[in-house]
Amino acid sequence: MIGQKEWAIPEGYIPDGSTGPAPEMVSHETICILNTTNKDATVEITAFFPDREPVGPYEKTVPSERTKHFRLDEFDEPEEIPRGEPFATVIESDAPVVCQHTRLDSRQAENALLSTIAYPGGGED
Amino acid sequence: MIGQKEWAIPEGYIPDGSTGPAPEMVSHETICILNTTNKDATVEITAFFPDREPVGPYEKTVPSERTKHFRLDEFDEPEEIPRGEPFATVIESDAPVVCQHTRLDSRQAENALLSTIAYPGGGED
Amino acid sequence: MIGQKEWAIPEGYIPDGSTGPAPEMVSHETICILNTTNKDATVEITAFFPDREPVGPYEKTVPSERTKHFRLDEFDEPEEIPRGEPFATVIESDAPVVCQHTRLDSRQAENALLSTIAYPGGGED
Amino acid sequence: MIGQKEWAIPEGYIPDGSTGPAPEMVSHETICILNTTNKDATVEITAFFPDREPVGPYEKTVPSERTKHFRLDEFDEPEEIPRGEPFATVIESDAPVVCQHTRLDSRQAENALLSTIAYPGGGED
């Protein structure tokens, strides 16, 4: 069992514009969550913005011994995350999970990628 | 509440040259800071260079429950960070925050991206 | 001696499609493992998926004071990892190692790269 | 003062081939080291390979309150690091530093980038 129950991703930006076939080459951000435990994880994702109140939580489930890669451009409840605006996310889970953040940017003709393990909370923070 | 009060980003380089529409496709580096606490964070960013004294601090505010994505090519006080030269940054905050470093490089026709969670200080360092 | 015995990589996706000469420009993911200890490390890699049971372990050896960069598109025993589908990996080693995750995506004419140090387990997790 | 005295970068690969003007667009890997302490840091970098003995140390200095971005394709003493072959690096410093790893790959017409904070040793490892 590997992981933490809280994670943060300060970088968030869904590029407004894409080149290439949908859906895989449409510019997007993904939060990849891995649950190696023997129970399903209920995950709450909150989005933070520069100039307005946080939005969420977006509720998701990551079943036991499964990984889910959530595309942020497909979030719609309670509201969509707008393209072309900066944001950040916090992930809270009721079971230990591991989170990684990835962006595919295809605004120009050839795509660009970034990725990083998210920042794990835990301990006395 | 998730985060630390000190962060380091050894990599820094604002490419000198760009392809595509301004401002979003102009080559740039961003420090993304997330403040999930219930108080505003006063943040001091210091830039380090290979062959001269550090510059700063650049003072910024990240309000409570907000994220700010600071473009380093827009820093001007006490002085601009020059393009095309290596540097590094240290971020000190009076409240716990989380920091991520991103570069968009559009010197060639198609942009490239990199990103990583910054290195958190804390503990007895 | 630097490292941990357990690592997780929530992001996994071997792009289906490539541009450029094989094998180096074929779209692929790599798990880079460094063993600085004075004994060979036996490494077990398990793949997790969104909707089915985990697959593995894939057994590998990283000799003492060596690094091995394993391409996931070359894994075949117990089964291949399918292209174009999300997955995640967990790495378990009998000696401390360090793991890093890299993807080269050459679906479009110019390649894109991502990389991150994997998430280390350890402690009371 | 932020940092650790030992760092590892399992991924290493200097692409053999480049597009664009030298030296900045020549494919390369960089180890960025930041020394925020009040003493100069003597840094020893060792390169590890898949099938032969480690090479090094490459000795470098990172002065107090400075950052140095070392291009691995410029290392020559005790020997060059070959292009087109996988390797890994360990960085040992006599003062706390912070390390980040970056690659610029310009084998195809448009460059790609990757970057990550290196893995910090320390504690009882």
Per the CB < 8 Å rule, is A115 touching C125? no
pLDDT for A19: 87
Average the pLDDT over C72-78 and give the result: 94
Touching partners of D (3+ C-beta pairs < 8 Å):
A, B, C
The radius of gyration of chain A from alpha carbons, rounded to an integer in Å, stands at: 15
Does B110 contact A at CB distance below 8 Å? yes
Does B123 contact D at CB distance below 8 Å? no
Per the CB < 8 Å rule, is A112 touching D116? no
Does B115 contact D at CB distance below 8 Å? yes
Quick check: D125 pLDDT over 50? no
pLDDT for B125: 36
Per the CB < 8 Å rule, is A112 touching D112? yes
Quick check: C107 pLDDT over 90? no
Q: How many residues does chain B have?
A: 125
Cβ atoms C65, D48 nearer than 8 A = yes
Per the CB < 8 Å rule, is A90 touching B66? no
Can you tell me whether residue B34 is helix, strand or coil?
A: strand
Average the pLDDT over D62-67 and give the result: 98
Per the CB < 8 Å rule, is D98 touching B8? yes
Quick check: D65 pLDDT over 90? yes
| Sign of the Cα pseudo-torsion (C84, C90, C96, C98, in order) | positive
Per the CB < 8 Å rule, is A36 touching C13? no
pLDDT in tens, D71-114: 999 999 999 999 999 999 999 999 999 999 999 888 888 888 99
Percentage of the residues of chain C whose pLDDT score is greater than 90 = 77
Average the pLDDT over C44-70 and give the result: 98
| Closest residue by Cα to residue B101 from C118, D100, D66, D25 | D100
Does D110 contact A at CB distance below 8 Å? yes
ipTM of the assembly?
Answer: 0.94
Q: How many residues does chain A have?
A: 125
Does A21 contact B at CB distance below 8 Å? no
Can you tell me whether residue D37 is helix, strand or coil?
A: coil
pLDDT in tens, B35-55: 999 999 999 999 999 999 999
> Smallest CA–CA separation between D8 and chain A, in Å?
16
The conformational region for residue C56 under phi > 0 = left, psi -120 to 50 = alpha, else beta, is left
Touching partners of C (3+ C-beta pairs < 8 Å):
A, B, D
pLDDT in tens, A28-60: 999 999 999 999 999 999 999 999 999 999 999
Higher pLDDT, B64 or D16: B64
In chain C, the residue whose alpha carbon lies closest to the alpha carbon of B111 is C112
Helices (H), chain C: none
pLDDT for D10: 97
Measured CA to CA, the distance from residue D47 to residue B17 in angstroms comes to 33
Average the pLDDT over B24-31 and give the result: 91
Measured CA to CA, the distance from residue A66 to residue C48 in angstroms comes to 6
Q: Which of D101, D107, D110 to mutate to test the interface with A (most CBs of A within 10 A)?
A: D110
The radius of gyration of chain B from alpha carbons, rounded to an integer in Å, stands at: 15
Report chain A's mean pLDDT, rounded to a whole number.
93
pLDDT for A124: 39
pLDDT in tens, B59-113: 999 999 999 999 999 999 999 999 999 999 999 999 999 999 999 888 888 888 9
Does C10 contact B at CB distance below 8 Å? no
| Closest residue by Cα to residue A10 from D31, D97, B13, B7 | B7
The radius of gyration of chain C from alpha carbons, rounded to an integer in Å, stands at: 15
pLDDT for C125: 36
pLDDT for B18: 84
pTM of the full predicted structure? Answer: 0.95
Report chain D's mean pLDDT, rounded to a whole number.
93
Q: How confident is the model at residue C109 (pLDDT cuts 50, 70, 90)?
A: confident
Measured CA to CA, the distance from residue D50 to residue D53 in angstroms comes to 9
DSSP state of D76: -
Question: Which residues of chain A does C30 touch, with a Cβ-Cβ cutoff of 8 Å?
Answer: none
Touching partners of B (3+ C-beta pairs < 8 Å):
A, C, D
